[in-house]
Amino acid sequence: MIGQLKQWDRDFFIYLNGLGGERFDSFWIFITQEDTWIPLYILFFVLIIISHSRKNIIIGVLSFLASFALSFGVTRVIKATIARARPNNVTEFKDVIRILQEPSYYSFVSGHTSTSVAITTFLVLVLRKRWKWIYIIYLWPFLFAISRVYVGVHYPSDLIGGAIVGLICAFICYLLYKKLIDTNLKYPGKR
């Protein structure tokens, strides 16, 4: 059963990766770069700041950063524990797949996916009652994750695992955030 799942994962990866073509390479390389998204990260901070009262801004910003840090840390532990080679480092794939990047660290779970899903989900949980349009930001982790298959560095299961890690970390940080905000509202004069 496990062997069959691994084979499907590999076959699906090869299929998806093979859909790419040179005319789309620069777009997907652009999408997969963390630096590309700096304006979006700034927008996220601005949204947190303008959606919180002055006394709660620090709680909002620190909880947002915690969702990133927790998902990043959990991802690193899982990667080191599972130690799955990336597709671009599998010798038998060298002539079969398109490789546009060559990171060497482990594959499972996708850090791009886990961290982007974590901070996006945290923001959606915090801001969904204020701005109904906030759900559109899920487009970012979706594109970010897909780019990792396109450039040849992650299997589909890496993305699914990363999304699950991101969701769990976001909910943990959101629960902590709510507790801190509620405490701050209950005891506004005490710090």
Q: What percent of the chain is modeled with pLDDT above 90?
A: 59
> What's the rounded Cα separation, in Å, for the pair 187 and 191?
8
State which of 82-86, 117-121, 147-151 shows the largest mean pLDDT: 117-121
Is there a contact between 94 and 144 (Cβ–Cβ < 8 Å)?
A: no
Q: What is the mean pLDDT of residues 163-170?
A: 98
Q: What percent of the chain is modeled with pLDDT above 70?
A: 96
Question: Rounded to a whole number, what is the distance in angstroms from the first to the last CA of the chain?
Answer: 54
Q: Which CATH number fits domain 36-186: 1.10.606.20, 3.40.50.300, 1.10.15.40, 1.10.3810.10?
A: 1.10.606.20
